Structure 1
Amino acid sequence: MKTTKIFYFLLISLFFISCSEDEITQENEQSTEAVKETVVTAKNNLKPIGSGVMMQAFYWDVPAGGTWWNVVKGKVDDWSNAGIDAIWLPPASKAQNGPFSMGYDPFDYFDFGEYNQMGSVETRFGSTAELQSLVNTAHNNGLSVIADIVLNHNSGGASEYNPFKGTSTYTDYQPMSGMFNRTYYDFHPNDYHANDEGAFGGFADLCHHKTYVQDWLWNNSNSVAKYYKNVIGFDGWRFDYVKGFAPWVIKDWKNAVGGFSVGEYWDANVNTLDWWTGQAEVSAFDFACYYKMKDAFSGNDLTKLNDDMLWKRNASKAVTFVANHDTDEIVNGKILAYAYILTHEGYPTIFYSDYEQWLDKNKLNNLIWIHNNLASGSTSIMYADNDEYIARRNGNNSAGIVVYINNSNSWQERWVETNWSNTRIKDFTGHSGWEPVTQGGKWVKIQAPPKSYSVWSVK
């Protein structure tokens, strides 16, 4: 996540509470009337997550003014028709910077745009009603909706004397929703321990070892997790900055509410990613793949695609991507990088700006179709040098494919061994007009245009 400029300020207290943490727990447990009796569209006809492609439905600094939920709502029908199966939304609840915040400085986990606090009623993205309308529209189009969850840190608390630091800290949280009030006991340092795996950017660092915090985040019937799922209608979770706390936190959340889960463990070390997915028992963004693609396409060395990646270790836990709201470093050859992740194993993600603004949408739609209909089975890397890369998907529910990526400035041709004998094949991208017939020994010559790619399968 990106660091948001935070200006701490004192909140004018609506009332003063002079009770113990246990009493606060009881008081907040009684706030179930704050949970709105909202009917969420039945979710019987959603596409299985992982059967298609995920859309990251935002970018950094999307337009403010409370319009974004409606913008996305207007696109989900087209996205679903293109083969998207899930949309990932930015953090949806009220944050410390109110109408200007991208949501990564959370203040009130239960205010989705209905309480006048932190400078606005609506969030940057819109109102609660507009969010739920978006969720229902996505469900009606068969799309799951992934919530961006920030559990590591909070922002916007009022100042209070903190005996564990001997100074005042901004750890007094009295959100207008009346849900999940917090004090210095709930952050580091406290009476349990001084710190956990990592703090972020000077924000108040939540202590997940405290039962009170666990109850409000995922255990209680009106916890953040269950409210997001049962009231707002979210179907899965993208967890922000999971380096900041232990993997059991994500595992416990997932066990409490279910749903597809992916963590942002920002590390290029595939061993670390593989370890984390095993401990958390959820998926992770494949940063190892991302950085190898950066080296390959920006550094003009496609042999880097031979290197280890999470999808090669455990494809069922790898969410692959070319760019996101935090990092967008693959500039040269970006469409080639999409050709790579949309023809290989793992669950690919498309970045909103690439799809809607910067790249050829028709080419991306074609690659999404190839991913959903042709690219199945295990992967065999057949050839790689500085400019060329060829891999074969060996087929599972389909005939499989051969993908040929060419980063040179001229057309290239190669003989390759396919899965098909005496079979006519074609390039399903339309970049090549060849329709060769494979030999009895399954070999065939294929081609790819300069700075482009071809994807071959049975005609």
Structure 2
Amino acid sequence: MNITIMQFFEWNLPSDGGHWNFLKEHSKSLSDVGINTIWLPPAYKGAGGSNDTGYGVYDLYDLGEFDQKGSKRTKYGTKDEYINAIAEAHKNNIQILADIVLNQKGGADKTEWVKVAKVNPDDRNNKISDEYDIKAWTKFNFSGRNNKYSDFKWNWKHFNGVDWDENKKESAIYQFTGLGKSWDEGVDDENGNYDYLMLTDIDVSSPVVYDELLKWALWYIEIADFDGFRLDAVKHIDFEFFKRFINDIRKIAKKELFTVGEYWSTDLDVLKQYIENTDHTFNIFDIPLHYNFVSAANEKENYDLRELMSNTLISCYPENSVTFVDNHDTQPGQSLESWVDNSFKLQAYTFILTRQEGIPCIFFGDYYGMPTKDIAPLKDQLDKLLKARKESAYGDQHDYFDDAHIVGWTRENGLAALISNANDGGSKKMFVGEKLSGKVFVDVTGNISGEIEIDADGNGDFTVNENSYSVWCIK
């Protein structure tokens, strides 16, 4: 069975608490078209309460149960609705990936005086002040939860940096210096050391912090019964931490726990090094492939489709690659905006959904649309591609990357795909296997009418329209 992931949120979902129920209502229809894994947004209380998308983590133990940060529920609903939605997904043979945000916390309850040094934002290894004291938001008491599930209270000793001094009302990057603290090693070397990203930076080198996060993760799995993780911002966290963390959880929980990490870099060597440093413990997203899609969309007929796989993770570590076209960070208006527009969107989805390499992840905002950005849903078109993946995208693959503007590939179970970025359509003679000789193929996308019969040698002349895509399966 092909694994097919859906990222089940976009950044601008309404803050009405209805999202977990939306998943519950749609699990069966998603399963029917071939979605068998769903990545859910962070489910715990953020600093923004019921308006927080989930990445401004306040209390990891509050899944929408306690009156904290102005509401009981999260943006997406209550704890009970979350657990019920996961149970319904499981009934429909869908596995759930929980979004794990362990780089930072936000919305602290109190300040503490902390010894720090300012660092250069462009080179965080370069201190630009002597050590002095600031008033930092680092004390997390979670009084609304009243010690239920955990009595652990976070304080400055569990962090290694902030970006705000409440005393002077001043913004900078402050590295904690007490207790011999420094930035974590094993992180991306952008800005010298990219441990610090935002808010209050968690010190994952602390044994106390490690034990608490492991305890929390095991509690979370037991409570919510999810099946794997999406790891946020792994480039900002020592690679040794997640390698150990995921292995420990798998061992103790006795679950396989499919895991994918977000390491945002276009440098293939950096991504390869991360996979090797973490001993292939989990997958990561193929960021370079996303940017190839962006280039194809932006450059239109000037882009050479033969280069789609160049410098991508799927070209070297396909077994550790999760492919995607867009996500909540690349959508219009977001921090890493790099939107693949409709001139190449469905060609890109044809690529990730019908090929052998990588595990594809489709984006909620593409599937259901994004009304706040006037982006229409592509559900009808994507359902046809998903069905082709579910039923036909198996078997040996044969590539026909022999033209700058029309490329194709086949799978010997009975699928042939073509994508085009030129103003002229065309055809390719492609091999689907001698065992399919005499079989009749049709374009399941509906873009091209008519039938193609496979000849005695296992070949067919498959066609595609201009600036389009076609996916041919056995009639």
TM-score past 0.5 threshold: yes
Q: Aligned equivalents of 2:410 and 2:368: distance in 1?
A: 29
How has the CA–CA distance of structure 1 residues 125 and 458 changed in structure 2, closer, same or farther, with 3 Å as cutoff?
closer
Please list every run of 5 or more consecutive structure 2 residues that lacks an aligned counterpart in the other structure: 117-131, 161-175, 188-193, 251-256, 332-338, 370-375
Contact (CA 8 Å) 2:39, 2:230: kept in 1 or not?
yes
Separation (CA, whole Å) in 1 of partners of 2:399 and 2:103: 39
1:419 corresponds to 2:430: no
Cα 1:132/1:368, change in 2 over 3 Å: same
> CA offset at residue 104 of structure 1?
0.4
1:120 and 2:71 are equivalent in the alignment: yes
Q: What residue in structure 2 maps to residue 205 of structure 1? A: 201
The separation in 2 between residues aligned to 1:418 and 1:320, in whole angstroms, is 24
Contact 2:197-2:236 at 8 Å conserved across structures: no
Following superposition of structure 1 onto structure 2, how do residues 172-187 of structure 1 map, counting pairs within 5 Å? 172-176=139-143, 177=145, 178=147, 179=150, 180-187=152-159
Q: Within 5 Å, which residues of 2 pair with 1:143-162?
A: 143-157=94-108, 158-162=110-114
- Work out whether residues 414 and 432 of structure 2, in 8 Å CA contact, stay in contact via their aligned partners in 1: no
Residue 435 of structure 1 aligns with which residue? 451
Q: Distance in 1 between matches of 2:348 and 2:137?
A: 44
In the alignment, does 2:364 pair up with 1:352? yes
Other-structure match for 2:389:
371
Separation in 2, partners of 1:378, 1:283: 23
Aligned-partner Cα distance in 1 for 2:388–2:290? 21
Percent identity over the alignment is 29
What is the DSSP-based 3-state SS (H/G/I as helix, E as strand, rest coil) of the residue aligned with 2:284? strand
Q: SS of 1:136's equivalent?
A: helix
Query: Residue 452 of structure 2 aligns to a residue in which SS?
Result: coil
CA contact (8 A) 1:76 1:137 kept: yes
Structure 1 gaps, min length 5 = 1-49
Structure (1/2) with the larger strand percentage? 2
Distance 1:381 1:354 in 2: 27
Q: Which residue of 2 aligns with 1:27?
A: none
Distance in 1 between residues matched to 2:246 and 2:197, nearest whole Å? 26
Contact 1:297 1:337 in 2 (8 A): no
Q: Displacement of 1:437 after TM fit?
A: 3.4
The structure-2 alpha-carbon separation of the partners of 1:145 and 1:443, relative to structure 1 and needing over 3 Å to count, comes to closer
Q: How far apart are residue 450 of structure 1 and its match?
A: 2.5
The residue correspondences of 1:30-41 to structure 2 (distance < 5 A) are none
Contact 1:293 1:304 in 2 (8 A): no
- Contact kept, 8 Å, 1:380 with 1:391, in 2: the verdict is yes
Q: Give the structure 2 partner of residue 278 of structure 1.
A: 276
- Structure 1 pair 402–271 and aligned structure 2 pair: CA distance change class (3 A): farther
- Choose which of 400, 407, 415 in structure 2 pairs with 1:401: 415
The one-letter amino acid of 1:423's match is G
Q: Distance in 2 between matches of 1:109 and 1:76?
A: 25
**Pair 1:379–1:292, CA change in 2 (3 A):** farther
Q: TM (normalized to structure 1)?
A: 0.82
Q: 1:139 to 1:146 in 2, by over 3 A?
A: same
- In structure 1, the partner of 2:181 is 193
Give the deviation of 1:217 after TM superposition: 0.7
| Alpha-carbon offset, residue 65 of structure 1 | 2.7
Matching of residue 267 in structure 1 with residue 239 in structure 2: no
Alignment-derived partner of residue 25 in structure 1: none
Alignment of 1:217-236 (within 5 A): 217-218=213-214, 223-236=215-228
* Residue identity opposite 2:422 in structure 1: S
* Residue aligning to 1:96: 47
Distance, in Å, in 1 between the alignment partners of 2:405 and 2:2 is 31
Give the equivalent residue in structure 2 for 1:133: 84
TM-score, normalization: structure 2?
0.80
Structure 1 stretch 413-422 or stretch 403-412: which is displaced more? 413-422
Could you list the per-position Cα deviations for residues 29-75 of structure 1 after superposition, in whole angstroms to 9, with x for gaps in the alignment? xxxxxxxxxxxxxxxxxxxxx73311111110211132221122211
Q: Deviation of residue 201 (structure 1)?
A: 4.5
Counterparts of 1:227 and 1:274 in 2: how far apart (Å)? 32
Kindly indicate whether the alpha-carbon contact (under 8 Å) linking 2:433 and 2:457 is maintained by their aligned counterparts in 1. Answer: no
Q: CA deviation at 1:144?
A: 1.1
How far did 1:271 drift? 2.3
Structure 1 residues 359, 385: CA separation in 2 closer, same or farther (over 3 Å shift)? farther
Among 351, 371, 376, the residue aligned to 1:340: 351
Is it true that 1:105 corresponds to 2:49 in the alignment? no
Contact 2:428 2:462 in 1 (8 A): yes
CA, structure 1 residues 265+201, in 2 after alignment: closer, same or farther (shift >3 Å)? closer
In the alignment, the residues of structure 2 paired with residue 456 and residue 117 of structure 1 have an alpha-carbon distance, to the nearest angstrom, of 53
Aligned to 1:299: 299
Find the aligned partners of 2:79 and 2:308 in 1 and give their Cα distance. Answer: 44
Residues 56 and 352 in structure 1, CA contact (< 8 A), matched pair in contact too: yes
Residues 444 and 86 of structure 1, relative CA distance in 2, 3 Å threshold: closer
Cα shift readout 1:293-326 (whole Å, capped 9, x = no counterpart): 2112332212321413212222221111111111
- 2:283 corresponds to which letter in structure 1? S
Contact 2:309 2:315 (C-alpha < 8 Å) held by counterparts? no
Separation in structure 2 between the aligned mates of residue 444 and residue 121 of structure 1, nearest angstrom? 59
> Matches of 1:145 and 1:426 in 2, distance apart?
35
Letter in 1 for 2:15: A
Q: Which runs of 4+ in 1 moved over 4 A?
A: none
Structure 1 residues 119 and 82: CA distance shift in structure 2, 3 A:
same
The one-character-per-residue Cα deviations of 1:354-407 (angstroms, maximum 9, x if unpaired) are 1112343222111112112221245443134342111233x4xxx253211122
Range with greater deviation from structure 2 (95-104 or 377-386)? 377-386
Q: Which residue of 2 aligns with 1:62?
A: 13
